[in-house]
């Protein structure tokens, strides 16, 4: 059973403040997230195991970007997105 049958997928962006390790400049970057929102109803024809998994399923977001490029025009180095949670559960 693929969990994508339980949810609707969409993409969104969220702002995050990151500091470049090379030049030390702090900027706000838009990070991309994949949002998996739980469907209101399970599709017809699902078995007991699928209904059980659907009842436990929670909506969540997964971070897509693992790095961004420094906004400083002279630096332009790659900034690793670390120190952030890569998965966030959403409340209904």
- The C-alpha atoms of residue 70 and residue 42 are separated, in whole angstroms, by 43
pLDDT digits (tens, 9 = 90+) for 15-32: 999 998 888 899 999 999
For the chain, which residues make up each domain, given as ranges? 3-89
CA-to-CA distance for 5 and 51, rounded, in angstroms?
Answer: 11
Token pair of 23, please?
Answer: 């030049």
Q: Report the Cα 40 to chain-centroid distance in Å.
A: 21
pLDDT value at 3 more than 80 = no
Which of these ranges, 34-38, 57-61, 88-92, has the smallest mean pLDDT? 88-92
Burial class (CB in 10 A: 0-12, 13-18, 19+), 72: middle
**Average pLDDT over all residues of the chain:** 86
pLDDT at 92: 63
- pLDDT of 49 reads 85
Whole-number Å distance between alpha carbons of 20 and 52: 45
């Amino acid at each position: 059973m693929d969990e994508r049958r339980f949810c609707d997928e969409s993409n969104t962006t969220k702002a995050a403040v990151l500091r470049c390790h090379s030049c030390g400049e702090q900027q706000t970057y838009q990070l991309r997230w994949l949002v998996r929102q739980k469907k209101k109803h399970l599709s017809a024809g699902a078995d007991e195991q699928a209904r059980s998994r659907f009842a436990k399923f929670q909506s969540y977001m997964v971070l897509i970007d693992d790095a961004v490029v420094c906004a400083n025009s002279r630096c332009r180095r790659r900034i690793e997105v670390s120190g952030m949670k890569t998965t966030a559960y959403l409340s209904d």
